[in-house]
A and B are shown apart, each in its own frame.
Chain A
């Protein structure tokens, strides 16, 4: 009995994470003789989740450095979608544009969206959070909510209240190739092709560059960092810049992937991304990515098997379970004293 308890406390988390795919995988084998369906669910989950991962990184970086849940971050992502799709019109990118014009055009809109969102995030920090550095931790939370509303209104004015289609420039659902029956679409490749390099770049930056070290130092102990000559204000601004650029990239990918945009998409994405960041261990970049991917998979499995109404229940049920089984998050560090 004691041995069983010890086994459970070590492996319960893994059991929880695997139970959905394994259960449905078994169901698939029994029902169809193969695992194609569950594999497809997981593939979709990963490519969807990659978008959440990019947004989640912004949440985790900001929380790690100033312990603030940047509620406006999801809406920055939404602005990223709007900026990039707006640019398509300006650049004259349509369904008929040839590859020679499309690729540079998309890269340009990616860059501009990233710059725009990065700057937006920095601006928000400067105006709404920096003045409140000394205030109780909950005060900037309200400014974040305020900015969230403002940005949503901007979206509302820009594209109206309902979901808007955008040109499917990349032919997102076009079949690229086939792995054992699982169709890989262009959308999937796009998602991973954007996320992976960005994450690698970011992690390298954090580990190697001076500013990256400054960011990590400030996250651990702002006072000591200041005493060591680190300009904490600049470091925080850079953090917001990085988070914002990633959100901008995610915005473009989302628009190409889903081919619809909506002023409310940021709020929804923000909730998911923040959950992903917490699940993975707040403050940890890899954790945010992992959390995003996991949630993507849960969502796909749920949408596909149980119906959309159950998805939120499952996602947040998983959050609760992970928090109970491992309060610091999947990859978080144990920072508290015991007891």
Chain B
């Protein structure tokens, strides 16, 4: 379970208040959309979760542990509990699909045997096992996002964080990707997705947390995209 308790984030260099008095809980296995205009504070929430930045005030609990207090050297181990997918895919261009996914396992010290078993398995889950030897530039945008998804999933994370994962995709491909996300969620992985994709949010009818000027202005089960403020 994830819990934000009175979280405030002020960026020291600019003095901008990115998040103010944020309080919410996300249960294990939930699918949550973070919506709001650009600069509202959605990405700040994902960055705080990954400890890419730390809170100014408040606590963030992950399964009962306050992650704002963990020492820097423990951050990599926190991140191993999470998978992350970005709008721009962030694949290694000089490595094949297989190597991109394999790399994520190698980084965390998986054995060759584990890698040989798990990588084809996860590529199959995202429907890309037949393109394992291709380079990212030989793939369509949707396929590249699937590779990024496979990489995020390969270490069986508890939480999958996605920042505008369909931002660079056409509506049809975006829906295909969302089907995969839904399938992953059905398997028990918690999904937190920051998005501007109104159609997707409205269609999927999941929990919606709306952020506006750093404040949580709406937290609605089975919500839609509309902006409150």
| Binding partners A and B | no
- Chain B residues in contact with chain A, CB under 8 A? none
